[in-house]
Structure 1
Amino acid sequence: MTDAPATAARRPGEPALAALGLGAPPVSAADASPHTFPGGGRWRTEIPSCEGPEALAVVLKESSLLEVPIHRISQGSGVWMLTDAEITEMAEATAERDIELCLFTGPRGSWDTGGSTRTDSGGAGARARGHDAVAGCVEDALRATELGVRCLLVADEGVLWTLHRARTAGLLPADTTLKASALIGPVNPASYAVYEMLGADSINVPSDLTLPHLTEIRRVSAAPMDMYIEAPDDLGGYVRMYEVAELIRRGAPLYLKFGLSKAPGIYPYGHHMRDLTLATARERVRRGRLALDLLARHGAEGDMAPLGSRLPGTLRRFDTPS
């Protein structure tokens, strides 16, 4: 990571409010993130929940029509819900446009036979229950990377550490990136730093974290952060578009994820959900256009990382066993 000045963008409505004597307090430079992505830029974009080649084609077409730049496209159902031909088609289509494709790994507790995830406490959530679930995630990782995928989404700390060790040992390509899922996102600086040390190259944080929370995290870690600017309902349904410039200022390097509230869940995806999946894929890109328009109006659009950039830079890791 390199240091970069983080100038504050124009705040929404500020000139008019200031004229009425209702202006906001001055912005403090001390709460801005000093970090950027390698090669420059403070934010990248991500379109999530792209559940197969057909949805991907919709996203790519709509992004061209609306001029929405995309750095990463991610999928949520899992590698195991796609055929080899579908994975290959998605990998080739994104590679042609220099977009990173990220696929979710393996079994997760919220879908298997464990009843605790259906209790009020949520049990262990999406984590991999038992050795066989970890093995399934590893199998997915090996299969996906053999088919050209270079980014893997992970929802378990043990799986994350295992895949990082596999990458270090040469069992996965060295340029494979590991993305910690929003389903296990850290909520404090100490846990964020642990995910970085376990091998995460970008880390989803819950979309209800406050602006001071982001500043606290950036005081201990420069690992790229993923954040839903609009979160799906099962992750809170938060819509934070008017905060997007300040989220970047405090959270950079930051992936802006364009989710969709008030939309039914589509995981695990199948063709019986085709119409809904294609419609929501199209609308996620439109939501991205709305957020980017806000950035432009507030004078913060110039800090985007170069298209095609995907690597996280040098990060801190725990020592791996020899």
Structure 2
Amino acid sequence: MSQSVSALPRRPGEPALSALGIGAPARSPADASPHAFPDGGLWRTEIPSVEGPEALTVVLEEATRLDVPVHRVSQGSGVWMLSDAEITEMAGAAAERSVELCLFTGPRGTWDIGGSTRTDSRGAGLRARGHDAVAGCVEDALRATELGVKCLLVADEGVLWTLHRARLQGLIPADTTLKVSALIGPVNPAAYAVYERLGADSLNVPSDLTLAQLTEIRRVSGAPMDMYVEAPDDLGGYVRMYEIAELIRRGAPLYLKFGLAKAPSVYPSGQHLRDTVLATARERVRRGRLALDLLARHGAEGGMSPLGSRLPGALHRFES
């Protein structure tokens, strides 16, 4: 599904800049993504860092108040930071609103005893160190899905492949979706295609990828892409609000993630951070409203997937 030239959204500042003789070069139809979600939509929305039932309640209430459509909410502290009762409450509240709930799986390198992640090289990064770390991620996945969670966030290629095989064998529900974290997000077309084949149903790419690089990825893969249009400071703090229409045109099918720059980290979350968690959750929804208003002003508000949509459609996989 590609967008015709006649459907191109208005660029920021046009036609005023054209009238002043400094208009932008014409856009090429070849830059547009040929892909879409299986429902025909080009974009969906995600509110990240929803760190528990109370934060989810705040997000859903604020989304109603500001009329912000929400397709997915994600949590970053991890399944292990939530009790069974909390997971069940979150899964129920999300299901009631037809919102996909995504929880982060298991041990990650930066919370491990290994020292390499704390060196300047950041060796191994967020990946699961050793068999026991992989086993912890699988344990989280089994527990979360048994309690009704339908989306799992992963930060390790081996964990991704393991969970993909687990759903093929019925160890977790077949309709469980697997989301690649921004902490290991691919930065080139070859890597993006590999993650898709390992089982990824959506892939968070770093927010500093250029528009041309998004087009390069879309020439090899139609797997849904997640992107922070405002990134947390520890992921660069990039704010790309005015590019949203073009990000959709180039990157569809795309989840618009409304992060928050200049905000303290809340991972791992807990009652000691309650006020910050709730305040930042509320502000992320407001950022979503501002982004959607920009899309409307640029004539690009169309193409959103119906609320309740969550599956990625047919994707390419390695043989298991």
- TM-score for both structures, normalised by structure 1: 0.98
The superposition leaves residues 197-248 of structure 1 with CA deviations (integer Å, 9 ceiling, x where unpaired) of 0000000000000000000000000000000000000000000000000000
- Alignment match, 1:257: 257
The superposition leaves residues 287-306 of structure 1 with CA deviations (integer Å, 9 ceiling, x where unpaired) of 00000000000001011011
Distance 1:55 1:237 in 2: 22
- Alignment match, 1:310: 310
Asked whether the equivalents of residues 233 and 261 of structure 2 are also in contact (C-alpha less than 8 Å), the reply is: yes
Report deviation, 1:77.
0.3
1:110 pairs with 2:99: no
RMSD (CA atoms): 0.6
Distance 1:155 1:24 in 2: 39
Asked whether the equivalents of residues 53 and 89 of structure 2 are also in contact (C-alpha less than 8 Å), the reply is: yes
Distance 1:303 1:11 in 2: 17
- Alignment match, 2:22: 22
Distance 1:300 1:63 in 2: 20
Moved over 3 A (4+): none
Distance 1:303 1:39 in 2: 10
Distance 1:194 1:127 in 2: 16
Asked whether the equivalents of residues 40 and 306 of structure 1 are also in contact (C-alpha less than 8 Å), the reply is: no
Residue segments in structure 1 that go unaligned for 5+ positions in a row: none
* Counterpart secondary structure, 1:302: coil
Identical positions, percent: 81
Amino acid at match of 1:5: Q
Report deviation, 1:8.
1.9
Report deviation, 1:166.
0.3
Distance 1:261 1:9 in 2: 26
- TM-score for both structures, normalised by structure 2: 0.99
Alignment of 1:121-140 (within 5 A): 121-140=121-140
- Alignment match, 1:5: 3
- Alignment match, 1:275: 275
- Alignment match, 1:297: 297
Distance 2:245 2:84 in 1: 39
Distance 2:168 2:69 in 1: 32
The superposition leaves residues 172-210 of structure 1 with CA deviations (integer Å, 9 ceiling, x where unpaired) of 101000000000000000000000000000000000000
Asked whether the equivalents of residues 31 and 250 of structure 2 are also in contact (C-alpha less than 8 Å), the reply is: yes
Distance 2:121 2:298 in 1: 41
Residue segments in structure 2 that go unaligned for 5+ positions in a row: none
Distance 1:177 1:194 in 2: 17
* Counterpart secondary structure, 1:318: coil
* Counterpart secondary structure, 2:228: strand
Asked whether the equivalents of residues 46 and 256 of structure 1 are also in contact (C-alpha less than 8 Å), the reply is: yes
Aligned length in residues:
318
- Alignment match, 2:58: 58
Distance 1:280 1:128 in 2: 28
Alignment of 1:1-322 (within 5 A): 3-5=1-3, 7-320=7-320
Amino acid at match of 2:192: Y
Asked whether the equivalents of residues 48 and 258 of structure 2 are also in contact (C-alpha less than 8 Å), the reply is: yes
* Counterpart secondary structure, 1:304: coil
Distance 1:183 1:298 in 2: 31
* Counterpart secondary structure, 1:25: coil
Asked whether the equivalents of residues 207 and 238 of structure 2 are also in contact (C-alpha less than 8 Å), the reply is: yes
